[in-house]
Structure formats: structure tokens, C-alpha cells
Structure 1
Amino acid sequence: MISKTATKIFGRTELPCFQETCSHLISFYNSKSLRQGVCIHSPLIKLGFQDHLYLNNNLLSLYSKCFTLDYTRQFFDEMPYRDVVSWTGILSAYVKHEKHEEALGMFQEMMGSGPCPNEFTFSSVLRACSALREFSYGKCIHGRVIKHGFDSNQILGSVLIDLYSKYGSIEEACRLFSCVDNGDVVSWTTMISSLVQAGKWSQALRIYIDMIKAGVYPNEFTFVKVLAAAGFLGLQHGKVVHAHLIVFGVELNLVVKTALVHMYSKCQRMDDAVRISKLTPESDMFLWTAILSGLAQNLELREAVVAFQEMEASGFLSNNFTYLSILNACSLTLSLDLGRQIHARVIMTGLEDDLPVGNALVDMYMKCSHGAKDGLRMFQGIQSPDVISWTSLIAGLSEHGFHRDSFDLYMEMTASGLQPNSVTLSTILRSCRAAKSESQLLKLHGHVIKTNADHDIVVSNALVDAYAGNERVDEAWDLIRNMSQRDALTYTCLATRLNQMGHHEMALHVINHMFNDDIKMDGYSMAGFLSASAGLNSLETGMQLHSYSVKSGLGSFISVSNGLVSFYGKCGRTHDAERAFAEISKPDIVSWNGLISVLASYGHISSALSAFDNMRLAGVKPDSLTFLVVLFTCTHGGLVDMGLEYFNSMEEMHGIEPQLDHYVCLFDLLGRAGRLEEAMEILETMPVSPNASIYKTLLAACRAHRIVPLGEDIARRGLELDPSDPAFNLILANLYDSSGRSDLAATIRRSVRDNKGSSPPQKSCSSHPVLA
């Protein structure tokens, strides 16, 4: 009711004009989100306009934009009249402040008060359901949406698509999208985003093409999602989307620029990613983190450190995300020294209690250290470890071979009340595969089924890998057939394990199943199929795969390039192997090891050693496998002194501690040259205990050079180490034959035949007390 005071001051004819002025003022302040607009509230009350519903709704919106939720709720409670706009305004405020449960409570109150909800009301309620993962309630709201005739509404269509896709109902999301009348850029982008989140990248790109055909122009948010899909599909797709971005004239702002950096990083084109990041002067922590993360994922540690320094020089202080990227790079490149330095920086900046950083440190120490003690110590320093902390520790112990301890820790984690996530389950399943533990695998599979975790494709893929790794191929196929969703990794796991079992032809048949499922090969699956072709010595199949990799853009993946080097090498096509290597823009350690191995295997000794020198000149640090290949090269080239130099340089120059395999190669090198006295001196002083392979290698050298006394001594040592191995007696018998002692040779062979039926003694398996 208009107050008498207001009537006296302005007169009845002037009041409507004043109301309109107030309305315009509040609308202006509301549109600009200017909190000064609330100053009009007091005069409105004094002039008796507190009952004006339109003005109050505008004030409510202003309060929700500029003030706390408490002030907004207080104003709403004091409103004498409320309509659907009022209720929708308070609901929107609750959702905006992430008070989703309260929002649903307000909706129930609204439904009891009488106003009929509109499309904006339903939009806020559905967003709250989505945030709370209240899928059942969301479906009920969807029913009301249909009942009120909003089932083809653009605004609600986008929200419903998002809701259903978050719960894995992509088919329902697609059906809803097809029902939306004249979909706008928001609904198209929401559909694309849903498909990207579900890992259906090809389908996301097809929707994007349909969007353009429908005459709906994509905006920057559309391109962010499409670039994410293109990053998984390969460089060729990424370049096309980048070209579209330019054609449509989308501004290269920070969001778009960061999406481009992510895409090129995913396609292993860090030069392009860095170049794009510098096209405009604007930068923020998200862009720097994208660059650092991309460099880390592409194992460009030196460049990552330089980028880290450039970021700090630009005035951006390192935060936990920065350190996470650098620590991830250290983990991927096994750079323990840099990891320790970053750890020191973390402590100096006061981030040692940050949980994600602590988890990254556990992961770094577990992957980079020779043992598990550093990672365990880091884990014990975390006050409240979460599921990621436990998963990092379990994965680290499994990688170090402590499979029983990893199982025990898994049980301890679940007993503490923490539920394993998909990464935890895939990690412990990987441990089951490595340990060949079928009993643990069956128990875990039962738990996965009981908790419905098998609906997660990551867990399902890990189950396939574990069963195939335990040579239970039929069960692995059954799992694949029953999976609701399959991807390239599903089949890559199976093909990899089939290759390891020598079933190369079966591995190649996996290609047909991928084709039937409309799943395209990625870089890893292509490498697996090339490996199968090499195993079968099938040049024609491998060349067809090579051709496909070029046409599909997979040739840019380093895993494919390395697979081609190995394939052509195993098929005896050394020139093709060298050409495949030459086409790699930035060869990694696997590339160089593959090239050196191919050259050495076909007797190109000088070329193999030259490749080793070129690798070091290129700045690629040799690893343990490199030296195995180099020692093999020296052995077959008769380069004894050079081989000794390489062996001695392992620890002195490269910090690589020789393992038993290196000593086997060394003794083979010395044994073939007849330098057995020198070999025995090394045997007596080597820091690791010799295994049966070392004694067999030395015994074979004694046979070749007919050195009976030393051969007898080595055979005795070998039999003491492994009495069940008949090879020692057989090699010794050959030594006696070549030395003219056929009688002794016959006696030994008779003894081997007589003992053939006896069972070898069982070895005991002790646990690793790393957690004591």
C-alpha cells in the first residue's frame, strides 16, 4: 500500500513515474552487478514500495549477485509477496553458492507454497541434482519437466544432457539432444562436452561437424571441448580444428590458447604448443601449468625446468600445481636428483603439508629411488593420507616387486574406511598380474563385482589385463564381451599379453574386433600389432600397418615409430629400420636402443657403436638396457677392451649400477676371448652374488677353450647354487669330450639320465619386510 507520506510528497500522479525510475535504476545496477544499487532499498521502504513485487525481485537478484547468501535469504524471507521469479531467484542463489541440498529443500518448500515452476526453476533444481549426484531425484524432476511441457526447451535440454551424461547415460543424453527444438550453441556444446567426458571423442567430433552443418556457429567454449577430443584422436584432427578456430574468427584468449597448448601437448608437438603460448602476451597459471604438464608428459625435463624458471621470472609464483607438474616430470624421467631439489623447494615454500604435493612426492620417490624406503618415509609423513596417497604407495611397492606387501597395504587401506577408486583397483590388479597371483585376482574380481566397480572402464581394462597376464585368455575374452563400453586400451592390453605369450597371430586377430566395435587404433595398440607382425616375421602385415599409421596420423606417435624400428629390424630390413628411425623428430631412449640393437643383431658393429655415440651427443642419457645392447655389440664384434671400457663407464660416468645381466654379458665377452683369469677376478670382487647364468656362461667359455680344472670348479659352484639344473652337467660333459675324457663325459650323462625323473627341490619364497 502506498504510504500517505509518499502521496503527500510526490502526489498521486508522480508516483508511477517514480516507481518506473526506481525500476530502471535497480535493473541497471542489477545488470552491472553493482552493489551500490542496494542503496535504493531503504528509500523504497520509506516511500511504501516494499510491496512492489517487480522491484523486490530485482533487489533479490542484486542481493544474490553482490552479497552473501545470508543477506539474500533474509531479504527473501521479508518479502511480503513472492511469485515464481522470487522462488527461482533464491533457488539460483543457493545453487550459485554451491548450497545444493538447501536448494532442493527450497524447491520442496516452493512446491508446497503454490507457484508453478518455470524452465529457469527446473534448470536450477537439475543443476543441484547434478552436483549432488542425486540421479534418481533428477529423473523425477525430468518427469515434472515433461509434465509441464518443457521437454523440448533449449535451456532445460542442455541441463538434462549434462545430468544424464554425468551418470554414464550417454544414450539418453543423445536422445534428449535430438528432441531439443532448434538447439543453440549452448545445447550443442553441452552435448559435445558430454561425449568428451565419456571418452567418445570421434562421436564428439561428428556432433561438432553436424553443428556447423546446422548453421550454429561454435564459440570459444565449443572449441575448448572439441580441441580436447582432437588431442586424443591425433595431430591431423587437431590441426583441422585449429584451422576452424581461425576461420570462425574466435579470439585467441587465454582459455582457447590453453586448450590449444593441451591439444598439441597431447599430440607430442611441444614446439607448436610453446609457440602458440607466445602468440599473445597474456598468460596465467593455467597456461604455465599446461606448458609444464605437457613438457613433463613428453619427457622434456630440461625444457620443463627452463619453463619453470621463465614462469617465475615472469612474476608468477610457484604453487602446488607447478610443483605437481615438475614432480610428475621427475617421476616420468626417473630424475631423483631434481626430485630431491624440488622437495627442498617445497619445504622452503611451506607446502610440505599440502596433500597433493605430498602424494606427488611419494610417487616420485617410489618411481625414482632404487628401493621403497624413501617413498615409505614420505608416506608416513603425511598426516591424513587419502586414497591417492595409499594408491601411490601400493603402486610403488608393486613396481619394486613387493607384491605381497602391496596386497597387505590394500587390505589395510580398506580396513581404515577408505574406499579404493578405479586407479587403486587397477593398480592392485596390475600387481596380481605381475605376481601371477590367481587367488588374489579372483578375490579382487569378486569385490569389483560386489561394488559395481566393473562398470568403470579403467577397472574393466585392468581386469582384462590381469586375466590375460595370468594366461587365462578365455576369461579375458568373456570380460571384453560383457563390457558395456570398450576402448583402444581394452584391446591393447589383450594384444600385449598375447604377444608376451607368443600368440602373435591371435594378437593380430584383435584388430578385427576393434574394427567391429568401431574403435580406432591409437599409438599403443598400433605398436602392439607391429610387435605381433614382427613376432610372425610377417612383413606384408607390418607394412600394411605402417601404411595405415601414415594415413591415420598415428605415425607421429613415438610408440609407433619405435615399433616400426623394431619391426623392420626383426624382419631383417635394416635399411627400412634406419629410415623409420630417421623420421623420428625427437628420438627417445627406446628409439636409440632399438636402432643400436637392430644394427648389432645383423653384425653392423661399427654402425651400432656410432649410433651409441650419436645418442650421447644428442643429449639422450643411456639406461641399463642401452649398456646391455652395447656389451652384446662388443662381444659379437670381438671388441674386448672397448667392452670393458663401456662396462666400467656405467657407474663411473652414468651412475648406472651394473646388474646381473650386465655381468653375464661381461663374462661372455671375456670368456669368448679366453681371458678367464680376468673374468674370475671380477667374479670374486663383484658386488652382487652370481646367478646360474653367470656360471653357465663361464663354464661354456671353459669348454670352448678346453680348460678342465676351472670348468670343474665352476660346474661345482653352479650345482651348489641350483642342483636341479642339468645344464651344468651337460656342458661339463661336453668339456670332457673336447678334452679327450670321454669316459668322464659318459659317466656324467648317465647320471643325468638316471636323475631325470626326480623332482627338483622346491624353493621357498620369503616376504619382503619393507614395511617392518
Structure 2
Amino acid sequence: MKSVIQPVTKNGNHVVHQNRRITQLGKSGRIEEAVKVFTRMTNRNTVTYNSMISAYAKNGRFTDAYQLFDKMPFRNLVSWNTMISGCLHNVKVEKARQLFDRMPHKDLFSWTLMITCYSRYGDLKEARKLFNLRPDKSDPACWNAMVSGYAKNRMVEDARELFDEIPIKDLVSWNSMLAGYTQNGQMCEGRKFFGEMADKDVVSWNMMVAGFVEVGDLDAAWQFFQRIPSPNVVSWVTMLCGFAKNRHILEAKRLFEQMPERNVVSWNAMIAAYVQNSEIDEAVRLFAEMPLKNAMSWTTMINGYVRVGKLEEARKILERMPYKDVWAETAMIAGYIQYKMIDEARQRFDRIGTRDVVCWNAMIAGYAQCGSMDEALKLFRKMVQKDIVSWNTMIAGYSQVGQMEKAVKIFEEMGEKNLVSWNSLISGFTCSCLHVNALKCFVLMGQSGKKPDQSTFASGLSSCAHLAALQVGKQLHQIAIKSGYARDMFVGNGLITMYAKCGSMSSAKHIFSCIDSNDVISWNSLIAGCALNGYGKEAVKLFNDMKVKGVAPDPITFVGVLSACSHAGLIDQGLDMFECMAEKYSIEPLAEHYSCMVDLLGRAGRLEEAFQLVRGMKIKANSRIWGALLGACRMYKNLELARLAAEKLFELEPDKSSSYVLVSNIHAEAGRWDEVERVRVSMKESKAERQPGCSWIEVKSEVLVFLSDDGQTAEINNMLISLTAHISSTSNISDTQSSIFEAG
């Protein structure tokens, strides 16, 4: 269609007013009112259509926007750019490219929009290709978009390299690069770069304040804030939010009172500060004093009441709103979901006249969190407009309930995938013990151009740990180093566990020492590693060092250290640990702790003490506890106690063959062959499932997996070898012929 600019109509002033009205309604989320204004207009110009398209797109109704675009009698360059901007807002990258290629004419803004569209959603390769094709090589706009794209995707070195090549740098160029440092937590480099800037505006100063706030350095943030030549309302709100985020509510209040001017954002920020600190009465007082309230003000108050569990008060606030707002309605739905009131949430959802995609996603997420995936799927299929969050919610929901085939089906159906999509699938495979599938998925994610983050590495390393795939784990470690995540606590803890479970305790200790600030998970991982590899005394020493460092142990800590004492024969230390767990740390023993203690006493031959411990437990004994006692009975040939433990074990696990085998062996060693035959008959009658034995061994840098009575041994072995080869090429992974969805 020919691109023509329509002349202004006779009553142009009225049209201009209506156009502005549509734009305002679209920005405030009142899309149905905007539609009514548009429908009633008898005279429409190109700006009218552009305003309505923008309103649709910004409120998640992309299909409506696209249909209106196709019906336009006239299109100008702004129409095309508005539509591409709508694609950017609704994560429709492929559609944006189709529109871009169809454009009869492109301006610099068109190129910048398309580069931003690719880079914002992680496709830096396509963004760079387009960047290299742009006709105007000197204008800084596209350069700035590309630098910003690298920075937002944590590729700060690439951003700096490109920044240094910019022929004509403007202030936006400098601020784009500064944002790369501040938004990625590299505040030392950011401070240095800020000092090199010849020109700075309030945006530059605000980014430094925001960067220090984000890394928790409030002293530095405050110093920069005080030096801002002419702070604007963003400066004040940024610092205020920093105090609020770190629960410095008095400083936030003092700053709010000192503000030279307060807009609605300032008031909302202070109310949010009170809400975050659960000071709901103060929030209510400030809300009542507000001279002007917007939708965010009401929504913040609803969230505040939800936060303290006052759902009825939240509902009353919602009913008092002077106009219906989907954001506030969604906040109420989220509150019901948070407190497991799924029926009330659905009733509220059904009463909403116009729902945006966020509202739909909230309701679907509610069903997913409750494990009601059938209901979630029904809503998902009814959605006219789905964004990438909708698809990811479904993948994560199916993954959480272990329905990986359905998760894969959703994953394959969706168009564009982001890092969350891949992470949800990889995490699902890991949690479902489909570890080879998880690693295959890791490889294919790299091939798709997506860079792993903390969550990806954590899942991948966990799978390596369960498979004892040391070589694959080492390759993931190398990728983590190159990606800048090796010193991340989340990834570091995964590396400690992986190396420990693969028997490489020296590497586990090295990783532990490299983590800047070890948390309780770091200590637990290393202690558990020592227990697993027979270093009992070292585990106890670590426990004592942990206390000296001021890190409080949790229940998992005691599972690790009690297990270490058990396997190392440290009876007295184990008994002392068990006693101080409740007395000193107020941690009530769980089944895992009792199991360790039964095993500890049993290995020492103190079977009567172990049995009395089980009898005196406050909780019901599980199969692990009776199994530990039964194992000790076999070691010390206590047939009477073994019979009792076996009866309890058969009640809890009638279909598990290992229990029958253990009892049979006890009778066989005592020469009671009639009892052996009786146990074997009972095993056949119970149709107990035989669990194949499983072993791993590393030979010449290859992990060999052996499973008794399993036809997939060779396939798993070959896949691990293949994964090692593919992952070793890190970011430039070669293609693989294997599908991640084949059985591992």
C-alpha cells in the first residue's frame, strides 16, 4: 500500500483533541474507553490510527493493533515505526522484522528500533548484522542502541569495545556505556568511567546513584546524591527507594520531607517504602494525605494490605477506587493467590471486564502454583493474546509437577524463546532426575544463541553432580568463568556440590575459598562433600569454623555433619552435635537427623540405644530410619531386632526389593534357609520392583555409566561423551544431531 499522509480535516482541532484523548487513555491502561473514543470518531486522520495502534500495543492487545494497522486507509512513516514499537513492547521480534522488511521507506529511528528489538530480547547476532547494514554509519543513534544492547545482555566488554569505535560520541553514547557498568554491578569501573566523562547530565548522576543502590552501597549512593548539581525528582526518588529497599525507613522519611517538589511518583515511592517495611498504618496515613492519586497509588495500597494479610481491607480499597483499573484488580487476584484462595481469585478474575495479558498470566500462575495444571491449560488456551511470560508460566508449571512431556510440548509450540524458557525446561529436567536431558538442553540452548545465567549453571551443575559427570562439570566451570559467573555465590555453591559429589574435594575446597562471601549453603555443600567422601574430622572442623565466622547452621548443616560423624565413627562428637542442635540452635530434629543418629549408633554396635532413640522420637519413623537400623542389625547379627525393623520397613515400602534382599541376606548369614525362602516368596507375592544397580567410573577423561539390567547404558554413556565434546567449545558450540527430547 502506498504511503501517503492524509490532509487535516475541517474540524481538525476536535480531531487533535480526540487523538490526545486516545493517547492518554492508552497510557493509563483504560483501553476500552480509548476504543469507544476511536469508534465514535467520524473524522479520523493518520495520527488517530497511530494513537489507537499505540494504545492497543501498550496494553497487550497486539492482534488488535496489527488488524487496525492493516485496515488503515493511509500510512506514514510514523505508522510503520509505531507498529514496530508495538512489536517491541509485545515481544514480537519476528513480526517486527517482517514489518521492517516491508517498509517502503526507513528512517534512522526505524533502524534504531529494529536493532533495539533484537538486542533487548537477547539476539545480539541479528542486532549486529542489522547494525552493520545500516545506511548511515556516522549517526550515533544506532551505535548507542547497539552499545545499550550489549550492556543489557551483560556483555560489558563488547559494549566498551564498540563504544570506543563510535566516530561521533554524544552524551547518550556516554550514558549508554555508563549504564552498562552500573546496571551490571561493575561500580568500580563505572566510577572510573564516570570520572572520564567530559559532560555529565542529571541522568549520568542518577545512574551512579541507582548503581550503588543496587549493589547495596548506600554510603556511596548518598555521597553521589549529595554531589548532584541539580537533582531532579528521579534523583530524589532513586535515593528514597534505596533507603526503603534496605529498610532505612527513617532516612527515607527524612528525605521525603526534604524534597523541594513532590509529584505522584514521589508519594507512591514513600508509600511503597512503608509497605515494604510492613508499616501499613503509616502507608494509610500518607495515602490519605496525597493531593493526587493515580492507579499505582491505589495498587500500592492494595499490595500493602495483601503483604500484611489483610485481604478484606485490600478488597475495600479496590472497591473505593474511582475507576476500574486492571492493575489494581490483578493485585487483588495476586493477593488471593498468595494466600491459596484460588477460588476467590477466579471469581474476581471472572468479573473483570477487560483483562490485559498480565491479569491472565497472574491467574494462570495461580493455578500453576497450586498444581492445577488442567485449569491453567484451559485458561491458557482461551487467551487471545499471549506473551512470552504466558508460555514460560506453563512450562514452569508443568516442570514443577514433573510432567516434562507436557512442558516440552508447550516449549515446542511457542515461537520465540528467551532465557527463562530454557531455564524452566532445564530446571524441570533436573528436578525430575532426567539429568542427561537437562545437559542436552543446556547444549541446545547455547546453539540457539542464548547465554546461560546463574539458574542455568545451577541446574546444569546439579545434573553433572547426580551423574558424577566430572568432565562435563569441568567444561561448565570453564564456561562460567568466561561468562563472568564463576565467582557468583549461586554458581559457586553448585560447583562445590558438583566437585564434591564427583570426588574432587580439592577442587570443591578451592571454589569455596574463591567465593567472596560464603553463605550457609556454601558451608553446607562443603560439609556434605566431606561427609560423602569420608572426611569426618574435617567436616566437624568446618562446622566449628562456620560458627566462628558467624554463620548460623540450619537443619541441612546438621544432616551433613551428623552423616560425617556416622561414617567416620565419631560417636561422641555426633552425640554432642545432636544434643546441641535442639538445645543451642532450637532446631527440632527431622527424620533425616534421626536416620543419621540411628546409623551412627548402629555402626558402633549400640543397637539398643538406636532402637530406644527410634521409640522416643516425636515424629513417625520413615523407611530410612528403619533401613538404617536393619542394616546395623545385619552387621551385628541381631535377628530379633532385625525382624522388628523388617516388619516396619515392609509396611512402609512393600514394593521395594532392596528391603527383602537385605532381610534375606541376614537370615542366610545366620543359616536360616527356611526364612530365606519365605522372604523370597513374600518378595514375589508383593511384586516388589527390582531397582537396577548403578555405577559411574571415569576412564581416560570419559565418564562410563553402568546400570545392571538396563538397555540404555550405552546410550547414556555415548551422550555424556558427546556432551563433553560439545560443551568444550563453550560459546561456539557445534551442532548436534540429538534431540533434547529423546529419552536420556
The TM-score with structure 2 as length reference comes to 0.67
2:588 is aligned to 657
Select the residue among 579, 583, 596 that pairs with 1:648. Answer: 579
Question: How far, CA to CA, are the matches of 1:219 and 1:251 in structure 2?
Answer: 21
Asked if structure 2 preserves the Cα contact closer than 8 Å seen for 1:228 and 1:263, the reply is no
Q: Are the counterparts in 2 of residues 274 and 291 from structure 1 also a CA contact under 8 Å?
A: no
Question: 2: distance between equivalents of 1:134 and 1:552?
Answer: 37
Q: Which amino acid aligns with 1:756?
A: M
Q: Deviations over 1:459-511 (max 9, x none)?
A: 32343345556666555444333211112232333333333454433332223
2:280 counterpart letter in structure 1:
V
Q: Of residues 265, 275, 280 in structure 2, which corresponds to 1:346?
A: 280
Task: Return the alpha-carbon distance in structure 1 between the equivalents of residues 541 and 638 of structure 2.
Answer: 36
Local SS of the residue matching 1:147: coil
1:701 corresponds to 2:629: no
**Which residue does the alignment assign to 1:23?**
none
What amino acid does structure 2 have at the position aligned with 1:350? V
What residue ranges of structure 1 are gaps of 5+ in the alignment?
1-80, 294-303, 329-341, 366-374, 398-404, 433-439, 762-772
| 1:351–1:357 CA contact under 8 A, matched in 2 | no
Look up the SS of the partner of 2:509 in the other structure: helix
Counterpart in 2 of 1:279? 224
* Equivalent position to 1:422, from 336, 352, 361: 361
Percent sequence identity over aligned pairs:
23
Name the residue aligned to 1:686: 617
2:35·2:52 contact (CA, 8 Å) conserved in 1? yes
Report the alpha carbon displacement of residue 219 of structure 1 after superposing the two structures with TM: 11
**Is this contact kept in 1: 2:660–2:680, CA < 8 A?**
no
CA 514–357 in structure 1, closer or farther in 2 if over 3 Å, else same: same
CA RMSD of aligned residues (A): 4.7
State the alpha-carbon separation in 2 of the partners of residues 665 and 180 from structure 1.
Answer: 73
Who is 1:173 aligned against? Answer: 96
Worse-superposed segment, 102-111 or 580-589: 102-111
Q: Which runs of 5+ in 2 are unaligned?
A: 1-8, 162-176, 181-192, 259-265, 288-297, 319-328, 689-744
Pick 1 or 2: higher relative contact order, CA cutoff 8 A, min separation 6: 2
Q: Work out whether residues 497 and 525 of structure 2, in 8 Å CA contact, stay in contact via their aligned partners in 1.
A: yes
Cα distance 1:703–1:362, how it changes in 2: closer, same or farther (>3 A)?
farther
User: 2:294: which partner in 1?
Assistant: none
Paired residue for 1:749?
676
Deviation sequence 1:554-577 (CA, Å, 0-9, x none): 334433222222222222222222
2:281, 2:269 → 1: CA distance? 15
Larger radius of gyration: 1
Is residue 216 from structure 1 mapped to residue 148 from structure 2 by the alignment? no
Q: Distance in 2 between matches of 1:309 and 1:685?
A: 51
- The question of whether the paired residues in 1 share the 8 Å contact of 2:667 and 2:676 is answered with no
The amino acid of 2:679's aligned partner reads: V
Residue matched to 2:597? 666
Q: Which amino acid aligns with 1:582?
A: S
Look up the equivalent residue of 2:597 and give its one-letter code.
Answer: L
Q: Where does residue 51 of structure 1 map in the other structure?
A: none
Matched, 1:615 2:549: no
Counterparts in 2 of 1:421 and 1:641: CA distance versus 1, 3 Å: farther
Q: Residue 383 in 1 paired to residue 308 in 2? A: no
**Alpha-carbon separation, structure 1, partners of 2:36 and 2:653:** 74
Question: Quick check: 1:481 aligned with 2:402?
Answer: no
**For the Cα contact (< 8 Å) 2:537–2:565, is it kept in 1?**
no
| Inter-partner Cα distance in structure 1 for 2:362 and 2:64 | 29
Contact 1:101 1:132 survives alignment (8 Å): no
**Would the alpha carbon gap of residues 649 and 759 (structure 1) be closer, same or farther in structure 2, given more than 3 Å must change?**
same
1:251 aligns with 2:212: no
Change in Cα spacing, 1:646 to 1:387, as seen in structure 2 (3 Å) is farther
Cα offset, 1:680, TM superposition = 4.1
CA deviation profile, 1:120-170 (whole Å, cap 9, x unmatched): 66655554554566757755764687736x33x5xx554333234334443
| Correspondence for 1:529 among 438, 449, 460 | 460
Report the Cα distance in structure 2 between the residues aligned to 1:465 and 1:578, rounded to whole angstroms: 33
Match status 1:554 vs 2:485: yes
Return the letter of the residue paired with 1:696: G
Match of 1:233 among 125, 137, 154: 154
Higher helix share: 1
**Alignment partner, residue 569 of structure 2:** 638
Tell me which residue corresponds to 1:92. Answer: 20
Answer with 138-147 or 605-614: which moved more: 138-147
Q: Is the 8 A contact 1:201 1:230 kept in 2?
A: no
Kept in 2, the 8 Å contact 1:228–1:262? The answer is no
Q: Distance in 2 between matches of 1:389 and 1:732?
A: 57
> Which residue number in structure 2 is paired with residue 311 of structure 1?
252
C-alpha displacement at 1:629, in angstroms?
Answer: 1.0
Contact 1:320/1:357 (<8 A) preserved: no
Report the AA paired with residue 564 of structure 1. L
Are the equivalent residues in 2 in contact too, given 1:201–1:233 (CA < 8 A)?
Answer: no
After superposition, the Cα gap between the structure-2 partners of 1:628 and 1:479, relative to the gap in structure 1 and judged at 3 Å, is: same
The Cα shift of 1:243 comes to 7.7
Aligned to 1:564: 495
Q: How many residue pairs were aligned?
A: 609
Residues 219 and 250, structure 1, Cα contact 8 Å, conserved in 2: no
